[in-house]
Structure 1
Amino acid sequence: MSGHHHHDHGPGGHCHDEGHDHSDDITPALQSLLYSQIQFEMVSTLNESVSRAGAAILQKPWTERLSEQPELESDADEQLLMHIPFAGQVKLHSLLIYTAPTPSAPKTLKLFKNRNDIDFSMASDLKPTQTIEVPQPVPGTDVFELPLSRASWNATTSITLFFEDNWGDEEITKIGYLGFKGQFMALNREPVSVMYEAAANPSDHVAIQGVHGIGGRIMPGQ
């Protein structure tokens, strides 16, 4: 018995586990990263210097979050306005952002929920759902995970990010990576049809006696 135990928890395995746990400190659980729920082709960014750069930094895989390109850069002035629609309803928990440690790193970020009509003049006047100050990055900084007020971000179908200024009073704001953590909520009709299909699946009835004739519904305790 003890020999078996030793085999399971040998020094090699232990060492490997330690390394694995350490990397998980920053790496988000895959199911909480809302990457596949972003409708990339419908992302719009106002004042981006290169067309589709806003969508490109959202599409960066997590493993490439610190890569220099693509990078979103503002054009006429320091402000950027991004509209990001989701494929359904999400509950947002936090925003993930990486910017290189330069004076062009964004500072004030105003977030608006479920609005697809915001332009720069509206963004300055409207009361945001939440305002965040993005910390100033220093050399060696990884992604910042900025918690969102969860009560404000239930049933989110889109988010608009207004980057109002940056840390250096620069004319150009630069952002390297953006992501979101949260929970994806299927649209109301989806779980219903899924449950119905599961109930109607003949293989579900094999081990259950007396189910037929009551529409496949099992009451608790039966």
Structure 2
Amino acid sequence: MSGHGHGHSHGSGGCDHSDDKSGIDRGAEFSLYMKIDLDKVQCLNEQIDGSGKTVFKPWDQRLDKERVVESDADEELLFNIPFTGNVKLKGVIVIGGEDDTHPSSMKLYKNRPQMSFDDTGVEADQEFQVTPDSTGVVEYPTKVVRFSSVTHLTIYFPTNFGADTTKVYYIGLHGDFTEAQRQEILITNYEIRPNPADHKVDSFNPMSHEIQ
């Protein structure tokens, strides 16, 4: 895809091999996919329209290879992910494609809706070097303080391990969710019956208007 650069500088993002918990516990931790506004998710450079949305799925379906997104013009993929409330993002899991199609780097951007490849030159809120992971055992912990109030998350995969295209089967998001507070509309009830004190008028004296 022309018109956007291929940055290759990566921050030192650590990873956590959190595979010592039961499947039920992990499933509960990675339930934020239910808080994504899927109808508004965008995946740029996807081969098949709408396929990017399918990688956000339940933990117990993370190994489902039927639902996959593959990049089109080059190896880059960019996800714009709006939430239905406020998220404290604690970690990300990525199950990528086989061989060299697995992402090799990942950048996270907080609260930057409608990002495009032209916008990825700005500094990411966090960057990771990605390890090939076919089962979802590697979690990339975020800087929780920085990602404590997220309404929109952008995930950008700039590179893979050398293939022409990038594949992603699953993106798991670990964190806490808070419902968005609704704006209360204050309605003031005015008096239906007017207050005479608010409408002072001069008293009409018929004696002062005699016709000569």
Q: Partners in 2 of 1:106 and 1:171 — Cα distance?
A: 11
Structure 2, unaligned stretches of length 5 or more?
1-19, 185-212
Structure 1, unaligned stretches of length 5 or more?
1-21, 193-222
- Number of aligned residue pairs: 165
Assess, with a 3 A threshold, how the Cα gap between structure 1 residues 78 and 29 changes in structure 2: closer, same or farther.
closer
* Aligned-residue offset at 1:94: 0.5
* Aligned-residue offset at 1:23: 6.1
* Aligned-residue offset at 1:143: 4.1
Instruction: Note if 1:51 corresponds to 2:49.
Output: yes
**Contact 2:97-2:166 at 8 Å conserved across structures:** no
Q: Partners in 1 of 2:112 and 2:122 — Cα distance?
A: 11
**Contact 1:48-1:80 at 8 Å conserved across structures:** yes
Q: Report what 2:8 is aligned to.
A: none
* Aligned-residue offset at 1:98: 1.1
Q: Report what 1:126 is aligned to.
A: 122
Structure number, greater radius of gyration: 2
Instruction: Note if 1:81 corresponds to 2:83.
Output: no
Q: Partners in 1 of 2:116 and 2:142 — Cα distance?
A: 23
* Aligned-residue offset at 1:29: 5.0
Helix, strand or coil: the match of 2:100? coil
Out of 173, 185, 206, the position equivalent to 1:180 is 173
**Contact 1:97-1:143 at 8 Å conserved across structures:** no
Q: Partners in 2 of 1:74 and 1:143 — Cα distance?
A: 23
Q: Partners in 1 of 2:24 and 2:132 — Cα distance?
A: 18
Q: Report what 2:154 is aligned to.
A: 160
* Aligned-residue offset at 1:101: 3.7
Normalized per residue, the structure richer in helix is: 1
**Contact 1:48-1:74 at 8 Å conserved across structures:** yes
Q: Partners in 2 of 1:23 and 1:112 — Cα distance?
A: 28
Q: Report what 1:149 is aligned to.
A: 143
TM-score normalised by structure 2 residue count: 0.71
Helix, strand or coil: the match of 2:52? helix
Instruction: Note if 1:93 corresponds to 2:90.
Output: yes
- Alignment deviations for residues 106-144 of structure 1 (CA, whole Å, 9 cap, x no partner): 011111100113211211x1100110111123xx64342
Helix, strand or coil: the match of 1:170? coil
- Which residue identity does 2:82 align to in structure 1? P
Q: Report what 1:208 is aligned to.
A: none
- Alignment deviations for residues 55-98 of structure 1 (CA, whole Å, 9 cap, x no partner): 0111x222110121111100000001110000011100011221
TM-score normalised by structure 1 residue count: 0.68
